[in-house]
A = this chain, B = another copy of it.
Amino acid sequence: MRMVVSHPPRLVGVLGGMGPAATADFYGKLVEETPAGDDQSHVPVVIWADPRVPDRSLSLLGQGEDPTPQLRHGIEALKRAGCEVLAVPCNTAHAFVPRLADEAGLELVSIVEVTADALAAAGVTAAGLLATTGTLHSDLYGDALRKREIDPIEPTPDQQDQVSAAIAAVKAGALTPAHRAALADVAGSLLDRGAEQVIAACTEIVLALDGDRVIDPARLLARKVAAISLG
């Protein structure tokens, strides 16, 4: 099971805390996706998880404080700690982080690009999007999918309200079976409208929805990060 490593592993910075439960989930997936036979063969990681970053989605909708200064602060701390590679287990934050990673000289492994690449490799031509309203508004996934000739299919405004409520419930530790059922209904509706797969494009949604045709970008990111660090 030990991976053959031809060079020292690269130190990975994880800009987390958005939210905290999603960050814990991501790190667990990174461990699972690493083919290591002992502690010492795992990916070396520094996780900056200061959850006091202003709401990314509200900012993108013009309704809240700009999170850029706090995101930059975290990225700079990871750089100072010696990280070379950056992973951010928050889809919405990807509206902000590519420029900040460039500024800091860190190699960003984008959760959006990794996911769009995986769908394209699987031959998917239409994908449903479950995401924060800010992620949809910024067209992060829409743009990445269309560039690969994949049609993005978004929830209706009423359905989006239910998605947002479920995300907030996960962040509040107050998820109920009704939230889970609503998310499953919206996902089903996107499949009915022609989506071949549904992207759980918010790290909180992954904690509240699973299914055969649900894509988990956090797991795809974890797999890619392990390969980049150890490969």
Interface residues of A, Cβ cutoff 8 Å to B: 1, 9, 11, 17-21, 23-25, 27-28, 30-32, 34, 36-55, 77, 80-82, 168, 171-174
B46 touches A48 (CB 8 A): yes
**Residue among B19, B44, B46, B54 making CB contact with A42, cutoff 8 Å:** B19
**Closest residue to A77 on the B side, CB-wise?**
B81
CA–CA, A36 to B49, complex, Å? Answer: 15
B46 touches A45 (CB 8 A): no
CA–CA, A51 to B55, complex, Å? Answer: 32
**Residue among B28, B77, B174 making CB contact with A1, cutoff 8 Å:** B174
CA–CA, A23 to B120, complex, Å? Answer: 34
B residues near A45, Cβ cutoff 8 Å:
17, 20, 47, 49-50
B residues near A53, Cβ cutoff 8 Å:
39-40
Stoichiometry (number of copies): 2
B44 touches A47 (CB 8 A): no
B28 touches A21 (CB 8 A): yes
How near does chain B come to A88, taking the closest CB pair, in angstroms? Answer: 14
Known contacts being A45-B47, A46-B46, A50-B11, is A17 close to B39, with CB within 8 Å? yes
B residues near A31, Cβ cutoff 8 Å:
20-21, 24, 173
CA–CA, A81 to B73, complex, Å? Answer: 11
B residues near A55, Cβ cutoff 8 Å:
39-40
Known contacts being A17-B45, A81-B77, is A51 close to B39, with CB within 8 Å? yes
Known contacts being A23-B27, A24-B28, is A17 close to B37, with CB within 8 Å? no
B residues near A42, Cβ cutoff 8 Å:
17, 19-20, 51
A/B interface sample: 11 pairs, CB < 8 A? A1-B172, A9-B52, A17-B39, A24-B28, A27-B47, A31-B173, A37-B172, A38-B172, A45-B47, A77-B81, A80-B80
B44 touches A52 (CB 8 A): yes
CA–CA, A81 to B19, complex, Å? Answer: 20
B residues near A43, Cβ cutoff 8 Å:
20, 51
